[in-house]
């Protein structure tokens, strides 16, 4: 299981580096023609996270930059928030529309849910969702360059010990260009 987690994390790191590179390139474009017409069309983005359990007590975190992308082949939206406290959250929603999505894994290994990682090396901890252990609500889904915003709440489980943590929070992520790939394969 540890090998699978390490392989998954390596893929996530490569994927996030590629998305970040694409985001940086797209951010250098002409801002004179915004893609959203709402008040939320600025370059600020954030994710907030509250954690309880497995050593955390009412821990509140804020990531000042969050990005989202849509993988067209897997029809998966991924929101990424990296917190200064060496914590990363990945929110997966198998859709590109507003709505409420219960945590659910599909046979392909893809589905709606959240993963959370903290630390590195021997101190690293990885948390994953279980079916129906929470939900994500997307309240707005902007076009590329716009925002994907919403909230999440639920329980995640330590990949090694199965220790439970309770999480809740919100996201307001800049949407980067769509990628023609499967996110989790």
Is residue 3's pLDDT more than 60?
A: no
CA 157 to CA 160: how far, in whole Å? 9
**Is position 52 within any domain?**
yes
Residue at 184 is within a domain:
no
- The pLDDT score that the predictor gives to residue 183 is 54
CA dihedral sign, ordered 67, 68, 71, 74? positive
d(CA 101, CA 135): 5
Give the tens place of pLDDT for each residue, 73-82: 889 999 999 9
85 vs 29, higher pLDDT: 85
Radius of gyration of the chain, Cα coordinates, nearest whole angstrom = 16
> Using one digit for the tens of pLDDT, what is the confidence trace for 113-159?
999 999 988 889 999 999 999 999 999 999 999 999 999 999 999 99
Res 31 pLDDT > 90: no
Q: What is the mean pLDDT of the chain?
A: 81
In a domain, 37, yes or no: no
| Total count of domains within the chain | 1
DSSP string covering 89-120, please? EEEEES-SSSEEEE-EE-TTS-EEEEEEEES-
Q: Report the pLDDT value the prediction gives residue 43, as an integer from 0 to 100.
A: 61
Range of the domain at 73: 2-27+45-175
> Could you tell me if residue 118 is inside a domain?
yes
65 occurs within a structural domain: yes
């Amino acid at each position: 299981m540890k090998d699978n987690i390490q392989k998954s994390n390596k893929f996530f790191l490569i994927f996030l580096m590629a998305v970040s590179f694409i985001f940086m390139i797209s951010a250098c474009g002409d801002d004179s023609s915004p893609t959203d017409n709402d008040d939320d069309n600025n370059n600020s983005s954030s994710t907030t996270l509250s954690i309880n359990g497995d050593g955390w007590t009412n821990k509140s975190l804020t990531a000042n930059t969050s990005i989202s992308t849509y993988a067209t082949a897997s029809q998966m939206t991924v929101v990424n928030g990296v917190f200064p406290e060496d914590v990363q959250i990945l929110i997966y929603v198998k859709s590109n529309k507003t709505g409420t999505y219960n945590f659910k894994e599909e046979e392909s290994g893809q589905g709606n849910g959240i993963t959370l990682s903290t630390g590195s090396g021997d101190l690293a901890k990885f948390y994953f969702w279980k079916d129906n252990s929470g939900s994500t609500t997307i309240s707005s889904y902007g076009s590329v360059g716009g925002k994907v915003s919403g909230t999440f709440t639920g329980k995640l489980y330590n990949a090694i010990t199965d220790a439970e943590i309770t999480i809740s929070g919100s996201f307001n992520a800049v949407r980067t260009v769509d990628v023609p790939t499967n996110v989790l394969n």
